[in-house]
Amino acid sequence: MKPFVFRPAQGPWSSDVSWLFVCLLPDVTRDAALGELLAGCREAMRGFPIATVPDGELRVTLAQVGDATADRIDPAQRAALLEGLRERLAGQQPFEITAGSPLAYATGALLDLEDEPLQELIGTLRAAIRELRGEAAGTFHPGVTHMTLGYAHGEASTDELARKLRRVRPSHARMRVDSVHLLEVRVSDSGFGWTKVGSVGLPGRDDLPQVVGQG
């Protein structure tokens, strides 16, 4: 394992630039078993040179608004994005996925996610972003879905981390997907930070305000 160095696919991304992403935010209060799994993973990472991601900062990246940096997307455009996503997700029912197993990788640790249900949602989101803002806006694809648990800031044995993570129990937990969130994401030396712009609830989840903040 070696220190995390961010290399974005779309080219240089400095600490003073942020982008808008559509993400899932896990709710460990509701999904208690997921919270237990995450706590076990943090305990397994204890002693390794890894900056662990707190519960309140965890996210699952689904899509990016890639045609402009966040500073070039004003409040009216952000509200239009949220409304457009809301319209296109009107037929998407909430669902559950399996989170786990935890995995060690070259620059930290992640939680593998049940991928197939999320790929359908990703396709809907990317198509909506392209329709709303043009083809260039929806070219990013997150690949195999996962939740990053921590970013390495020094060298250590990936094999040893993998052995410790493999012992975490429970190794899997259910995670409910009933909303998506538009986040303004920035990169830092220890990983990422984000500010919520707004949320879109899937049918049956109508307690979320459309616009929470403007970043």
Helix or strand holding residue 60 (H, E): strand 60-65
Question: Which pLDDT belongs to residue 186?
Answer: 92
pLDDT tens string 87-137: 999 989 999 999 999 999 988 999 999 999 999 999 999 999 999 999 999
The yes-or-no verdict on residue 10 having pLDDT over 50 is: yes
- Among residues of the chain, what percentage have pLDDT more than 90? 80
The yes-or-no verdict on residue 211 having pLDDT over 70 is: no
Q: Which of 175, 158, 125 is nearest to 2 (CA)?
A: 158
pLDDT tens string 13-34: 567 789 999 999 999 999 999 9
pLDDT tens string 141-173: 999 999 999 999 999 999 999 999 999 999 999
- Pair of tokens at residue 143: 């690949």
Output the CA–CA distances (angstroms, integers) from residue 94 to 97, 118, 180, 205, in the order listed.
Answer: 10, 11, 11, 8
4 falls in which pLDDT band (50, 70, 90)? confident
Are 38 and 28 a contacting pair, CB within 8 Å? yes
Distance CA 56, CA 62 (A): 18
Distance CA 93, CA 206 (A): 12
Distance CA 202, CA 9 (A): 29
CATH 3.90.1140.10 fits 18-201, yes or no: yes
12, HSE (Cβ side, Cα atoms, 13 Å): 3
Averaged pLDDT for residues 184-188: 88
